[in-house]
Amino acid sequence: MEQQPPNTDLTPVTGSATDVAPLGRGGQKPAHELTADEDIDAVEWDRLAALADFKALLAAKRRFIVPATVFFIVYYFALPVLVGYAPRLMAAKVFGVVNVAYLFALSQFFVAWLVALLYVRAASRFDAMARAVVDQFKARPR
């Protein structure tokens, strides 16, 4: 398998000047030498979608995003639900006049930031997986 330069993009601006001059060889060009127009036509979306690594990427994303989304939605709606239906609990004072309702509302900000940070960490893993899938796809003979 041929070593690919990192971050090679399959599809630069359509219609732009090619970044690689035609070399005059016969037969198929290697993937990284294709011009933008040749390349866009050549991406077989279905073939890429069928790669095991692509499915693994989708599964990995799902494993993070679905529970994270469910969690933040449940945590968020707990606030209006409790404020609406358990007013006595929410009005309970913690220190001074500061009550459970206010502290719970304040906690939402920190929870949201935490979920965002965890996602960013997970997403850099997804980026690497996506890069690997694309590289693998480009390296395969058509």
Partner 1 sequence: MSPSLVMFLGFIAITLWITWWAARRNTGSNAYFAAGRSLTAWQNGIAVAGDYMSAASFLGIAGIIAFQGYDGFMYSVGWLVAYLTVLLIVAEPLRNAGKYTMADVLAYRLSPRPVRAMGALSTLTVSTFYMIAQMVGAGALVSLLLKDAGLGYETAVIGIGVLMIVYVVFGGMLATTWVQIVKATLLMAGTLLLSVLVLRHFNYDLGAFFDAVGHVSYTDAQGNRVTQDFMTPGLRYKPPYGALDLISLGMALIFGTAGLPHILVRFYTVPDARAARKSVVWAMAIIGCFYILTTFLGFGAATIVGRDFIAGNGGTNMSAPLLAQALAGDLFFAFISAIAFATILAVVAGLTISASTSFAHDFWTNVLHHGRERREGEEVRVARVTAFFVGAISIAIAIVLGPNANVAFLVALAFAVAASANLPVIVLSLFWRRFNTAGAVCGLATGLASSLALIVLSPSIMKAQAIFPLENPGIVSIPLGFLGAVIGTLLTREPEAERKFAELSVRANTGLGAERAAGH
Chain contacts with partner 1 (rule: CB under 8 A):
9-13, 40, 43, 45-46, 48-50, 54, 57-58, 61, 65, 68-69, 72-73, 76-77, 79-81, 83-85, 87, 90-91, 96-99, 101-102, 105-106, 108-109, 112-113, 115-117, 119-120, 123, 127, 130, 133-134
How many Å is the Cα radius of gyration of the chain?
25
Distance of CA 21 to the CA centre of its chain: 34
Of 28 and 76, nearer to partner 1 (C-beta) is 76
Tell me the closest approach of the beta carbon of residue 39 to partner 1, in angstroms.
Answer: 9
CA 40 to CA 83: how far, in whole Å? Answer: 54
Tell me the closest approach of the beta carbon of residue 43 to partner 1, in angstroms.
Answer: 6
CA 55 to CA 66: how far, in whole Å? Answer: 16
Of 79 and 139, nearer to partner 1 (C-beta) is 79
Tell me the closest approach of the beta carbon of residue 25 to partner 1, in angstroms.
Answer: 25
Non-local CB neighbours of 13 within 8 Å, separated by 6+ positions: 36
Of 25 and 85, nearer to partner 1 (C-beta) is 85
Cα atoms in the Cβ-side hemisphere of radius 13 Å centred on 27? 4
Of 27 and 110, nearer to partner 1 (C-beta) is 110
Distance of CA 65 to the CA centre of its chain: 9
